[in-house]
């Protein structure tokens, strides 16, 4: 890239830097971007750059594959029900060890090594994420009550206490959050990281929620005989319809539900983008085209 081209890139980014100055961007960090060493460093540099140009990034990270790998090495079987890891006390200990004791510290260490100022947290710190037990109901027939499936210490977000995050932002730190919540008796709960990110983005009234995934974004049906196509923009009503009609499935559902929660609670836009692309966050924030799928509130009819 020539010097002129470099200058043009910076000029293109300028209006976005101005627009997002002093705004909060919540990023769910997961997938291949957490595994590939080159992508790890580029992610950390992207976040550091955001902070230096006056944007407040808040990171929520996942770690499901890493948890499964450690459990396998320890001889503990992983069991899933409707995409949720069944979490008994032994599994919860492993979840907390991997998320809080290993992954969180690794992310914080890398950001700090490359020139940022990051602080690691779990949802138990300062009661940042108050949780309650998640219940799963299975349909058993029209004339019968649903079956309640016990999946152990799997939680859902009951309340986010933003004061810790606001204090860290005010002191120019980058919060890095492990998705472990605290129950009413002080017990730890394993919570889906997408849902944690959506709840935090809504509570902070973030400018954006960005979810890094291992796909290009939300894929919809293409024309007959063609592959599925990337949906560039969806309204809340589009997302609700896509979930109801089964257009999306599997791991995309909690991501879209996280986006819905964030946007309905005050986040201006949510984005699902491909974390396998180098500097995907910067491309989404600072270029005219953007990448992935954006989710926005429905425009009220006049």
| Strands 269-274, 293-296: pairing kind | antiparallel
The two structure tokens encoding residue 228: 């599925």
* Widest CA span in the chain: 71
State the Cα–Cα distance between residues 77 and 281, nearest whole angstrom: 35
Q: What is the pLDDT of residue 224?
A: 58
State the Cα–Cα distance between residues 225 and 21, nearest whole angstrom: 45
Going from N- to C-terminal start, the domains of the chain cover: 3-296
Give the fold, CATH level 3, of 3-296. Answer: Carbamate kinase (3.40.1160)
State the Cα–Cα distance between residues 142 and 148, nearest whole angstrom: 15
Q: What is the pLDDT of residue 244?
A: 86
Q: What is the pLDDT of residue 300?
A: 63
Q: What is the pLDDT of residue 122?
A: 95
Q: What is the pLDDT of residue 147?
A: 78
The alpha carbon dihedral of 204, 124, 196, 113 has a sign of positive
Beta bridge partners of 118: 174
Q: Three-state SS across the chain?
A: CCHHHHHHHHHHHHHHHHHHCCCEEEEEECHHHHCCHHHHHHHHHHHHHHHHCCCEEEEEECCHHHHHHHHHHCCCCCCEECCEECECHHHHHHHHHHHHHHHHHHHHHHHHHCCCCEEEEECCHHHCEEEEECCEEECCCCCCCCEEECCECEEEEEEECCHHHHHHHHCCCEEEEECEEECCCCCEEECCHHHHHHHHHHHCCCCEEEEEECCCCCEECCCCCCCCEECCEEEHHHHHHHHHCCCCCCCHHHHHHHHHHHHHCCCCEEEEEECCCCCHHHHHHHCCCCCCEEEECCCCCC
State the Cα–Cα distance between residues 145 and 36, nearest whole angstrom: 46
Distances (CA, A) of 233 to 16, 81, 221, 294: 19, 31, 14, 5
CB contact at 8 A, 183 and 189: yes
CB contact at 8 A, 212 and 293: no
State the Cα–Cα distance between residues 180 and 221, nearest whole angstrom: 35
Mean pLDDT of successive 10-residue stretches along the chain, which has 302 residues: 79 90 95 88 95 96 92 90 86 95 96 97 94 83 78 94 93 96 94 95 96 89 69 91 84 89 94 92 84 84 51
Q: What is the pLDDT of residue 1?
A: 65
Chain centroid to CA 164: how far?
19
Q: How many CB atoms lie within 10 A of CB 37?
A: 8
């Amino acid at each position: 890239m020539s010097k002129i081209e470099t200058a043009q890139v910076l000029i293109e980014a300028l209006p976005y830097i101005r627009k997002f100055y002093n705004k909060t961007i919540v990023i769910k960090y997961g997938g291949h971007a957490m595994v590939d060493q080159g992508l790890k460093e580029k992610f950390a540099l992207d976040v550091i750059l955001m902070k230096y140009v006056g944007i407040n990034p808040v990171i929520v990270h996942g770690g499901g594959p890493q948890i499964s790998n450690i459990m396998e090495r320890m001889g503990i079987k992983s069991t899933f029900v409707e995409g949720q890891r069944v979490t008994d006390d032994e599994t919860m200990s492993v979840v907390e060890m991997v998320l809080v004791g290993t992954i969180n510290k690794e992310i914080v260490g890398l950001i700090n090594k490359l020139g940022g100022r990051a602080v690691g947290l779990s949802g138990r710190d300062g009661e940042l994420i108050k949780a309650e037990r998640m219940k799963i109901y299975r349909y058993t027939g029209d004339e019968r009550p649903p079956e309640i499936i016990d999946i152990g210490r799997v939680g859902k977000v009951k309340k986010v206490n933003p004061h810790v995050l606001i204090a860290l932002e005010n002191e120019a730190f980058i919060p890095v959050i492990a998705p472990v919540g605290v129950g009413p008796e002080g017990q730890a709960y394993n919570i889906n990281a997408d849902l944690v990110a959506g709840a935090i983005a809504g509570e902070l009234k973030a400018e954006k929620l960005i979810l890094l995934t291992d796909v290009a974004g939300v894929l919809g049906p293409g024309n007959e005989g063609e592959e599925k196509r990337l949906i560039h923009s969806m309204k809340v009503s589009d997302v609700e319809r896509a979930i109801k009609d089964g257009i999306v499935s599997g791991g995309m559902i909690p991501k879209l539900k996280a986006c819905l929660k964030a946007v309905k609670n005050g986040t201006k836009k949510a984005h699902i983008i491909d974390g396998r692309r180098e500097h995907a966050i910067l491309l989404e924030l600072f270029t005219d085209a953007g990448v992935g799928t954006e989710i926005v509130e429905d425009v009220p009819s006049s």
